[in-house]
Amino acid sequence: MDDETRTGESERLSVQLGRVAEGDEAAFVRVYEAVSGSVLGVAQAVLRDRAQAEEVTQEVLVEVWRTAGRYRADRGTVRAWVLTIAHRRAVDRVRSAQAAADRERRAALLEAALPEFDEVSEAAIDHEERERVRHCLASLTEIQRQAVALAYYRGLTCAEVARTLSVPLGTVKTRLRDGLLRLRTCLGVSA
């Protein structure tokens, strides 16, 4: 396709998108036909999964329908605008999947930490003491309990706990300090 043909197509798409912004469904069909293949291609290149790429393509084209009025011709072509939306959506999908996998890994690690506590506590403390410790652990906030479980029952260092929970080292130290102070108070242990 030569420059003149490309320029003509770009101008036609810009006009059609303006009509889409006014609610013209027929104009949307023409924009859809012109860009949907490219959107699917970008999404599939990022996601490497046809089904997810098709979902992202559908989301992008719905967004084009809803936000057509935001397009600015002085910032680029319609095709570039739509493909930018597609790329961002696909990258967001990858990041979301990675974050979910990271959360699942941390949850599994945390779950593995708690049974070790039960084994240690049952061997070292009689029934009444175990119940007091459980009660006091339950009084901690979830974030304090996570830090304490990983540090004291899994044996992780503060830096390892910080990496596992994806939080700064200082935050882990604060959570541990606050959690241990609360445990000491709950258990009635003097300093």
Residue 165: count of CB within 10 angstroms of its CB: 19
pLDDT in tens, 61-76: 999 999 999 999 889 9
Please give the Cα distance from 140 to 107 (Å, whole number): 18
Tens-digit pLDDT string for the chain (191 aa)? 555 556 678 889 999 999 999 999 999 999 999 999 999 999 999 999 999 999 999 999 999 999 999 999 889 999 999 999 999 999 999 998 888 888 888 888 777 766 555 565 556 556 777 778 788 888 889 888 888 888 888 888 899 889 988 999 999 999 999 988 898 888 887 65
- Give one DSSP letter per residue of 158-189, joined into a string: HHHHHHHHT--HHHHHHHHHHHHHHHHHHHT-
pLDDT in tens, 144-184: 888 888 888 888 889 988 998 899 999 999 999 998 889 88
